[in-house]
């Protein structure tokens, strides 16, 4: 494993000032914390310089975008060691939620401990490792979801799935019988060149329309048309039209392994505000949907807004 004392790190991209102002209670449902590495070393080998993105830097990013709440996803290099994730959740209890990684070997006591900290689901991955050597290192496959589903449902947890669109179109219809919430990462990791008529993408659209899945509107991984991602707009529109009550927004900060294509988080906020031009839909996706799926309490500002709106 890398030695934290001499490991090369990179500074994460921080937001400028977004033009679009998020509503009270808005949530970025997909980001990661890394480090501090003297306390939370990786459990998996690294093939890239990791970002220096501990909790204080993440909170600075969140504030810069205007999001009031966030969901942290267990990064693959940490494998099943959730120390950095749980530490962040406990530090910001109630404001943050987490998606961890675990196999069916995990104890009920450990699951209860993670739930108390703020974990509300587990991530299952079928993405191939960039080296071509099997599944992405440090991740857990969907075969473990089938084993864990009863215990996850008892906690009110959901499953988050990361895979290529074509594979998701085969996997997800076989998982809906589990009768639990399934959230799809990165707009289903779609193939832009296949167009919106692609059968795999349309399978996910149909499942979304039927309310069988949730979909994360995280655009930056699906297109090299940086920074405007114009080729993604038709796909984004198709998902919004299918079922806005099952959509979530996430930045994917700190954008590991993206190099020159690393976006400004504020630009991603503005892009969402431009592509979803109805404020009621924006609030649904940014506030109401994550509140429902991740079990957030209503924020103080959101409560005040609601109370003010109810005064005759």
Write out pLDDT tens, residues 255-271: 999 999 999 999 999 99
Q: Would residue 248 count as lying in a domain?
A: yes
Span 259-288, average pLDDT: 97
Distance of CA 119 to the CA centre of its chain: 13
Write out pLDDT tens, residues 7-26: 788 999 999 999 999 999 99
Domain count, the chain: 1
Q: Would residue 8 count as lying in a domain?
A: no
Average pLDDT, the chain: 92
Residue 212: how many CB atoms within 10 A of its CB? 18
Q: Where are the beta strands (DSSP E) in the chain?
A: 27-31, 69-73, 96-100, 119-125, 158-162, 182-184, 214-217, 247-249
Span 170-197, average pLDDT: 97
CATH number for position 91: 3.20.20.140
In DSSP notation, 201-219 reads HHHHHHHHHTTS-EEEE--
Q: Would residue 219 count as lying in a domain?
A: yes
Domain that residue 61 falls in: 27-310
Q: Would residue 16 count as lying in a domain?
A: no
Beta-carbon contacts of 218 under 8 Å, excluding residues fewer than 6 positions away, are: 30, 185, 186, 187, 249, 250, 251, 252
Asked if pLDDT for residue 136 goes beyond 90, the answer is: no
For position 212, what pLDDT does the model report?
A: 97
Write out pLDDT tens, residues 207-230: 999 999 999 999 999 999 999 999
Residue 181: how many CB atoms within 10 A of its CB? 21
Span 170-183, average pLDDT: 96
pLDDT grade, residue 135 (50/70/90)? confident
Q: Would residue 3 count as lying in a domain?
A: no
Q: Would residue 249 count as lying in a domain?
A: yes
Whole-angstrom Cα distance, residue 157 to residue 180? 8
Beta-carbon contacts of 266 under 8 Å, excluding residues fewer than 6 positions away, are: 15, 16, 17, 18, 64, 65
Task: Extract the tokens encoding 37.
Answer: 């590495």
Q: Would residue 17 count as lying in a domain?
A: no
Span 20-39, average pLDDT: 97
Q: Would residue 12 count as lying in a domain?
A: no
184 with 212: CB under 8 angstroms?
A: no
């Amino acid at each position: 494993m890398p030695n934290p004392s001499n490991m090369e790190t990179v500074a994460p991209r921080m937001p400028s000032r977004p033009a679009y102002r998020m509503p009270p209670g808005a949530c970025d449902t997909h980001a990661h914390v890394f480090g501090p590495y003297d306390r939370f070393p990786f459990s998996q080998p690294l093939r890239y310089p990791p970002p220096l993105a501990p909790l204080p830097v993440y909170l600075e990013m969140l504030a810069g975008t205007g999001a009031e709440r966030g969901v942290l996803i267990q990064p693959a290099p940490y494998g099943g060691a959730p120390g950095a994730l749980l530490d962040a959740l406990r530090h910001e209890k109630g404001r943050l939620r987490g998606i961890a990684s675990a196999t069916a070997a995990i104890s009920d006591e450990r699951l209860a401990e993670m739930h108390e900290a703020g974990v509300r689901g587990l991530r299952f991955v079928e993405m191939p490792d960039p080296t071509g050597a099997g599944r992405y290192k440090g991740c857990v496959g969907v075969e473990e979801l089938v084993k864990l589903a009863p215990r996850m449902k008892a906690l009110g947890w959901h499953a988050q799935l990361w895979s290529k669109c074509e594979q998701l179109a085969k996997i997800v219809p076989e998982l809906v019988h589990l009768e639990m919430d399934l959230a799809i990462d990165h707009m289903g990791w779609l193939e832009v060149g296949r167009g919106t008529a692609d059968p795999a993408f349309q399978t996910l659209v149909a499942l979304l329309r039927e309310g069988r899945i949730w979909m994360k509107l995280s655009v930056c991984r699906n297109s090299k048309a940086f920074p405007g991602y114009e080729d993604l707009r038709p796909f984004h529109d198709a998902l919004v039209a299918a079922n806005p009550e099952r959509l979530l927004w996430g930045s994917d900060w700190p954008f590991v392994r993206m190099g020159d294509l690393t976006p400004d988080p504020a630009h991603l906020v503005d892009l969402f505000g431009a592509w979803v031009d109805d404020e009621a839909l924006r609030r649904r996706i940014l506030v109401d949907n994550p509140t429902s799926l991740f079990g957030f309490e209503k924020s103080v500002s959101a409560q005040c807004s609601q109370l003010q709106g109810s005064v005759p």
